[in-house]
Amino acid sequence: MLSSGSVWLSEFSKMIEWVSIHGGHSGQFCNHAVDSLEVIVQAYVAAGFSWVGITEHIPPGGDEFVYPDEQAVGLTAVSLYHRFRDYMQVGRALQQQYADQLTLYIGCETEYYTGYADHVRRLVAEFQPDYLVGSVHHLEDMSFDMDANDYWRIVTAVGGLDAFYQKYFDQQYDMIQTLRPQVIGHFDYPRIYDPDYPTQLRQPETWGKIMRNLHAIKESGAILDCNIKGWRKGHPEPYISAPILQEALALGIPVVPGDDSHGVAEVGADLQRGIDWLQAAGVPTNWQRPCSPVSHNEKEEK
Ligand SMILES: [Zn+2]
Ligand SMILES: [Zn+2]
């Protein structure tokens, strides 16, 4: 057996489990992803993950929220609802089929727009996903994360960056209180196309809303997704950024890596880097698992 330092180090680093609390978007069920869900699950198995949350985007609440790339291929709110139904069926089948190789959770990632609360509640009641990733990708019903041009158009429309960040964190707060998701997706997402985001996050009114939201997350028992897609988007760090991470840690909020994969090539990409980054920041690496909506509510009622 080899006993060089590097082998010992790599063996040591493997002791921290590889998990993803947010990801597994597939070309089968998402227009801006690639590959079939089963091929993606097989990639997670091959990479040695212990457990993975597959968290496909929810279907839209109406045709006005069908994304342009979906409209372009003739999809509607109704056909996307049918696709989501198929996703839940295929996901449940894969969960059984691969149960002896890794633990799969079949969840979904929310949106925030007009009418979202009743829409998400209906979906949860009908499909009973294992858990929700609560995410905000819209501001005032306009999706802001698809490209930089849209982002800056919306920043201008809502009155500038200060207003943009503040509205985002207000919507996130509303979403946390209304949906009580088990996981909060990419917490500081409004920085997606803003190179000067460290300054922007520190604006006093924005920072106050960030702290308010962290307290709400602590109170709700939710887990923060450490979304390593931040590196893929060219940021120097994942979502959430280091100063916010430190506040979350001080509050005792669990933080778990999510690769936010949208295809096989992104399965586990940057994951070890993310684990190392979290470990260096002092985050406990005995990753908390998401619990089901039912057990989550039971826990809250105790
Ligand atoms: Zn996506
Ligand atoms: Zn997202």
How far apart, in whole angstroms, are the C-alpha atoms of residue 36 and residue 85? 16
How far apart, in whole angstroms, are the C-alpha atoms of residue 41 and residue 131? 18
Give 236 Cα–ligand 1 centroid separation in angstroms. 21
Amino acid at the residue 153: R
Sheet of strand 132-134: strand arrangement: 19-20, 51-57, 103-109, 132-134, 183-184, 223-227, 255-258
Which residues sit with Cβ closer than 5 angstroms to ligand 1, an ion? 25
How far apart, in whole angstroms, are the C-alpha atoms of residue 258 and residue 96? 22
- Per-residue confidence (pLDDT) for residue 128, from 0 to 100: 96
How far apart, in whole angstroms, are the C-alpha atoms of residue 128 and residue 31? 23
Q: Which ligand is nearest to the CA of 70?
A: 1
Answer yes or no: is pLDDT of 11 > 70: no
Q: Which ligand is nearest to the CA of 111?
A: 2
DSSP state of 18: P
Answer yes or no: is pLDDT of 75 > 90: yes
Give 185 Cα–ligand 2 centroid separation in angstroms. 6
Per cent of the chain over pLDDT 90 is 89
Nearest alpha carbon to residue 235 among 262, 206, 280, 273: 273
Phi, psi of 3 (to 5 degrees): -135, 25
How far apart, in whole angstroms, are the C-alpha atoms of residue 255 and residue 286? 10
How far apart, in whole angstroms, are the C-alpha atoms of residue 120 and residue 85? 14
- Greater pLDDT, 246 or 300: 246
Query: Mean per-residue pLDDT for 273-277?
Result: 97
Give 12 Cα–ligand 1 centroid separation in angstroms. 33
Instruction: Provide the sign of the torsion angle of the four alpha carbons 271, 261, 167, 222, taken in this order.
Output: negative
Give 249 Cα–ligand 2 centroid separation in angstroms. 22
Lowest mean pLDDT among 96-105, 228-237, 261-270: 228-237
How far apart, in whole angstroms, are the C-alpha atoms of residue 191 and residue 105? 29
- Per-residue confidence (pLDDT) for residue 295, from 0 to 100: 42
How far apart, in whole angstroms, are the C-alpha atoms of residue 57 and residue 107? 9
For residue 242, what pLDDT band results from cuts at 50, 70 and 90?
very high
- Per-residue confidence (pLDDT) for residue 230, from 0 to 100: 86
Exposure class string for 139-161: b at 16+ Cβ within 10 A, else e: beeebbbeeeeebeebbeebeeb
How far apart, in whole angstroms, are the C-alpha atoms of residue 175 and residue 113? 10
Q: Which ligand is nearest to the CA of 262?
A: 1
Query: Mean per-residue pLDDT for 138-142?
Result: 96
For residue 213, what pLDDT band results from cuts at 50, 70 and 90?
very high
How far apart, in whole angstroms, are the C-alpha atoms of residue 211 and residue 216? 9
Determine the Cα angle at 260 with ends 65 and 300, to 5°: 80
- Per-residue confidence (pLDDT) for residue 155, from 0 to 100: 98
What size, in residues, is the chain? 302
CATH architecture for residues 17-301: Alpha-Beta Barrel (3.20)
- Per-residue confidence (pLDDT) for residue 292, from 0 to 100: 54
How far apart, in whole angstroms, are the C-alpha atoms of residue 244 and residue 113? 25
- Per-residue confidence (pLDDT) for residue 12, from 0 to 100: 53
Distance of CA 62 to the CA centre of its chain: 22
Q: Which ligand is nearest to the CA of 227?
A: 2
For residue 13, what pLDDT band results from cuts at 50, 70 and 90?
low
How far apart, in whole angstroms, are the C-alpha atoms of residue 124 and residue 143? 22
Query: Mean per-residue pLDDT for 148-162?
Result: 97
Phi, psi of 213 (to 5 degrees): -65, -40
Per cent of the chain over pLDDT 70 is 92
How far apart, in whole angstroms, are the C-alpha atoms of residue 64 and residue 49? 38
Give 164 Cα–ligand 2 centroid separation in angstroms. 17
For residue 14, what pLDDT band results from cuts at 50, 70 and 90?
low
Answer yes or no: is pLDDT of 298 > 90: no
